[in-house]
Amino acid sequence: MKEPANNTAATRSSIGYLPRRDATPDTYKTLGFKCGLEIHQQLKTEKKLFCRCPAGLYQKPDDYNAELLRHMRPTLSELGEYDGTALMEFKTRKNIFYRVKNESACTYDFDDTPPFVLNREALDGAMKIALMLKCNIVGELHITRKQYLDGSIPTGFQRTAIVGIEGEIPLQNKTVRIIQLSIEEDSCREISDIGHERVYSTDRLGMPLIETVTYPDMLTPEEAAEAGQYLRFLSRSAAVVNTGIGAARQDVNVSITGGTRVEIKGVAHIKWIPDLTHNEAFRQKALLTIKEKLNSRVSDPAGWSPVSVEITAGIRPGIFNASHDDHFRAWAVNLPGFGGLLSFFTSPGRVFADEISDRLKVIACLEKPNMAHSEDSESPLSDTETAAVIKALKPGAHDAWLVLAGPAGDMATALETIEERCRLAFTGVPNETRKSLPDGTTIFERVLPGPDRMYPDTDSAPIPIADEMIETIRETLPDEISRRIAQLNAWKIPEDTYTYLLSRDLYPLLRELIEEAQLPPVFAGTLLGHTLKRAEGRFRCRLADRQRVIDLVSFVRNRGLQPAILKEALPALVRYQEKEIETLFFDMGFQPVPEEQLLAKIPELDTQFASIRTTDNPAARTAWIMGELRPLALGNINMGHLRRAVEGGRS
């Protein structure tokens, strides 16, 4: 066999992988790329969705009052089969610990009390967004249970309900259809997941979320990001959602021709979507290529099976991460027909062997590194160990093999997991949810749940939604995002401000500054889209009270000051949100100076400059004099006017 690294490079080019910057819409058209989004956004409410705990109180991982232990058991689906996810989670035999802080969680959160009546404030917010998405609003809300066995919700299911279906959003070049908008409770935050122990914090649990699901209408990674961005702007403009880290999370569904819908979970930033979907498309392409190779090599895929041999004696105890004690076991597995496939490229920096290793971590609870294999670039096995493996397995020319190690109790599940993943390779792309990584690649998270995991919540009654309720909410809807973008264009506001203006929902404030306070549009746009953005970034805080900006503008106008001073005063307003505006100006060292007095200083400064100048360049002179005058001039004189005066007075 070729060197593993060469093989990875060769397979990478054999599937036609190219970096995203080199890809064109045609690249994705050839792959048959399709992408849909599920956007989760926390609603801004005082209390949680199904109990009266305050929403939005977060604790540090070690700040808790009590800890509970639970296990999740799969329940049978209506067809009498265990859901695939369910079986997987059951195999993992996880001890799930919940950390409870009295302030942020109650007996409902850890499933010792039935739900209270659904939070109306949250429902109103969800309806507002459903209407903005032009959804058909349901006549009656039915709370449904969606099973989750990973423990992220202590009940083992998420309570969720459809608010509207069949909406749409307009992108630049197409309309993306919305399947549905639902209201649901948020899950726990994971603190750690090591071996058989997973720890969650219950602080976020039960906070109201909306989930917006689109059809797989996006045909390039860029479109997916655009749709994500649009949905983000839209929900922000409704002023009913939380902002900040973790307040919005995207799940991205990707498939290509011949592939399967794979769900990439928990994408924290919309800007990650293009790389993640691009790489997922090629990962599916790689798996489909592997499938073809296997099926051409193995005549009877159904009869294919790996050969496992225990080789604990031939392997150093404690190899990889495995703890070195009496329970340590090592097994070697021969994979007939898999030669050259373990080092087959799947994503940048990842090969097919990682698909197996990821599952060993998640399903068999073997922490990584958990295996070595015949196509490792740098094998952790010594020559003696490798020889022992080969002696035990006697692999054929077209075979691959791997060695795994860990606690005895996990070996049966681990061997099953290896066999299962390898069998799936014969059919192509497994149904999975995958976790996104910041480098644009993904790792296995769990088997994609089937449709049978939804069932009615017997603990709650349906909630009727009357026409009057819809009409009341309709009256509060903001303008459409697409219309806002058109207006920004009409105002000729620089495009680099759009994301900030729309994602922070500054548009209503901007309009007020332009239409009421009569600020020039470009000045107002950059005041918010540049000056405010930089100030919020620099001082690491958000301007809480937007009325203060209006007050500031009025202050400047009423004092007869020049608007340019707003660019100095706004950052101060962000930094000292408690201070009176007058105080801010005092602190800035501002003093009213009549225009004539300022102009009168020019000749004197001219003389000074003449004595210190090192160049004859007139621009240097202007810059220096302007610099000297600026602190005094700001707010007192139009700076353009002053500049012309300085330039005019040149001797």
Q: Which residues lie near other proteins (CB under 8 A)? A: 64-78, 80, 86, 102, 107, 110-114, 135-142, 144-145, 147-149, 154-157, 160-162, 165-166, 179-180, 182, 213, 451-456, 458, 461-462, 464-467, 470
Q: Least distance from C-beta 433 to other proteins, angstroms?
A: 16
**Tokens standing for 12?**
């990478």
Q: What secondary structure does DSSP assign to 325-384, as a single string?
A: STTEEEEEEEETT-TTTTT-EEETTEEHHHHHHHHHHHHH--PSS-EEETT-SS-SS-HH
Q: How far is the CB of 345 from other proteins (least distance, A)?
A: 35
Dmax over CA atoms of the chain, in Å, equals: 98
Considering the complex, what minimum distance in angstroms separates the CB of residue 241 from other proteins?
22
CB of 240 to other proteins, least distance (A): 21
Q: Between residues 80 and 303, which has the closer beta carbon with respect to other proteins?
A: 80
**Lookup: tokens for 557:** 């106008």
Residue in the structure block whose two tokens are 């900006």: 549
Q: Which is nearer to other proteins, 451 or 589 (CB)?
A: 451
Nearer to other proteins, 86 or 262 (CB): 86
Is the Cα dihedral 510, 515, 516, 518 positive or negative?
Answer: positive
Spatial separation of the C-alpha atoms in residues 99 and 68, rounded to whole Å? 7
Residue (44 or 94) nearer to other proteins, CB: 94
* Strand-pair partners of 175: 170
> Which residues are CB-contacts of 277 (< 8 A; sequence separation ≥ 6)?
33, 35, 221, 224, 252, 254, 264
Task: Please list, in sequence order, all residues whose beta carbon lies within 8 angstroms of the beta carbon of residue 128, skipping any fewer than 6 positions away.
Answer: 238, 240, 473, 476, 477
CB of 177 to other proteins, least distance (A): 13
**What is the nearest approach in angstroms of other proteins to the Cβ of residue 89?**
8
Query: Least distance to other proteins from the beta carbon of 74, Å?
Result: 7
165/599 with CB nearer other proteins: 165
Q: What distance, in Å, lies between the first and last C-alpha atoms of the chain? A: 82
Q: Each residue of 56-75: b (16+ CB within 10 Å) or e?
A: beebeeeebeeeeebebebe
Cβ nearer to other proteins, comparing 439 with 459 = 459
The vertex-127 CA angle with 125 and 129, nearest 5°, equals: 75
Q: How far is the CB of 280 from other proteins (least distance, A)?
A: 22
Identify which of residues 356 and 465 has a Cβ nearer to other proteins in the complex: 465
Q: Smaller CB distance to other proteins: residue 157 or 344?
A: 157
- Residue 283: its H or E element: helix 273-297
* Nearest distance, CB of residue 77 and other proteins, angstroms: 7
Per 3-state DSSP, the chain is made up of helix, strand and coil in percentages (nearest 5) of 40, 20, 40
How many C-beta atoms surround the C-beta of residue 341 within 10 A? 23
Query: Which lies closer to other proteins via its Cβ, residue 244 or residue 451?
Result: 451
Of 347, 332, 302, the C-alpha closest to 400 is: 332
- Compute the least distance from the CB of residue 499 to other proteins, in Å: 31
Which is nearer to other proteins, 464 or 603 (by Cβ)? 464
- Burial code (b: 16+ CB inside 10 Å, e: under 16) for 376-392 equals beeeebeeebbebbeeb
The least distance separating other proteins from the CB of residue 189, rounded to whole angstroms, comes to: 18
Instruction: Name the helix (H) or strand (E) containing 624.
Output: helix 618-633
Phi (first) and psi of residue 479, to 5 degrees: -70, 165
By C-beta, is 85 or 346 nearer to other proteins?
A: 85
